[in-house]
Amino acid sequence: MNKLYEVIKMLNSKDYYVKQYALDALRKFDSFLPSCVAELLDFFVRETDSSFKSAVLKLFTQKKLTGHFDFFAANVENCDYVVKIAFFDYIGETVETSAKEYLINTFYKENNPRIRSKIVKTVSCLLKSSESFHIEKETIFDFLNDADARVRANACSIKSDFGNIIIKAEYKKLLSDSSSRVVADAAIALYNSGDKSVAHYIEEKLGLASNDGEKSSLLYAMGKIKSETAYPVIQKYLRDASHDVRRNAIISAGALKLKESIADLLDLYFIEQKECRENLSKILGALKAIDEFDSTMAILDMLNGSAEDSFKRATLVKVLAHFASSDMAHYIVSYLDDTDERVRANAVEAICFLKEREAVGSDFVVKNLLVSMCDTNSRVVANSVRALYAAGVVSVISVLREMLLSNTESVRDAARHVVSYFPEGLVTING
């Protein structure tokens, strides 16, 4: 606890960075004594910087420090929207059901659309988290008919009585909304209430969509609706010209969890790898969401059939590292002897990533990568230095320093590429 008090006292500093350090450090403590909570509340009142006020609220939210709704409500009135939004997060995450009147009153008097839409999202969160929290249907109607599309969209996630014909009619009306996001969220709400007909409606509407924003929103809805006919429709948009459209198609394909989409997603990975690369992480996430084991088997099958395609091998070796267990690590090791330098370099990176995932230990890295330090390709050597250093072989840093001083540009480039993975200043070359 002495350490906690030391950090708390740093909040009294006049130095911006000291206070920033203190607030970051406080997130690592598991619990706070009442006296420490009091110090944080005092800091919140006297601090004028919005980022620090927001940080305090985020800390209270993270640590679930409940019972301070009245205090914050009295002290955020004159704060900017960033602080207020952090306060609404606190209300929702700590399930402050006593905040109902405050939320509704603030919604009606507030002009900032970001704050108003956040209030609606907070109300939705409270309705899902607490059976004792209720809201009048007239208020829900006001949310659903608000002039701001963000408010209407967030209102669609509110837990409502769809057995009430009037309420259901309000949601159905939003299927013709001018905002595609509102249409998508209304469709999701109706589908989850048991109205399965909206699935076909969204599929048809997607076919008529004229802009990327509309396509993206409707694809998002299809991933949430998960109808039996959804994937053939989504599949077409995996090759759309817009990376935003492709992203939502990828996410929705993952949400459907259909094993037939694994091959399509892996094929798309190769295309994205050659082009913008913006959706690579989304594809990996979708593959994991579908089934990690089946995705791994599909990757291995593709690797076994890639003898004539070195680009494909190099790509798949790195992809495999995101899925492989310790039992499969030897398979990646076999590519350290590949005839193609890109494959070898990627195999080294893959082993490094396995170490980061804790799928293999330091001994495995050292045993298999020391020989790669003698590779004829500078990228393979540089990647090996990075992996071995991470495994505890600190002496290899001298090799990287020598590479940075090389007269050969490709050697220097390979070294520069991995420098960012080392502690700042460790491989600085004087002169």
207, part of any domain: no
217, part of any domain: no
33, part of any domain: yes
Domain CATH for 54:
1.25.10.10
pTM of the model: 0.84
pLDDT for residue 176: 96
- State both tokens at 297: 């088997």
C-beta separation of 280 from 269 below 8 A: yes
Q: How far apart are CA 102 and CA 107, in angstroms?
A: 8
Neighbours of 326 (CB within 10 A): 13
Q: How far apart are CA 193 and CA 161, in angstroms?
A: 9
196, part of any domain: no
128, part of any domain: yes
Helix axes 362-369, 341-356, angle to 10 degrees: 160
C-beta separation of 67 from 94 below 8 A: no
Mean pLDDT of the chain: 94
pLDDT for residue 431: 43
What domain range is 108 assigned to? 1-135
84, part of any domain: yes
Q: Is 414 helix (H, G, I), strand (E, B) or coil?
A: helix
Report CA 166 to chain centroid distance, whole Å: 37
Report CA 133 to chain centroid distance, whole Å: 30
- State both tokens at 286: 């979708």
288, part of any domain: no
pLDDT for residue 429: 57
**Class of residue 328 by CB neighbours under 10 A (exposed 0-12, middle 13-18, buried 19+):** middle
51, part of any domain: yes
pLDDT for residue 233: 94
Query: How many domains does the chain fold into?
Result: 1
C-beta separation of 117 from 149 below 8 A: no
Residues of the chain with pLDDT under 50: 431
Nearest alpha-carbon partner for 28 in 62, 56, 2: 62
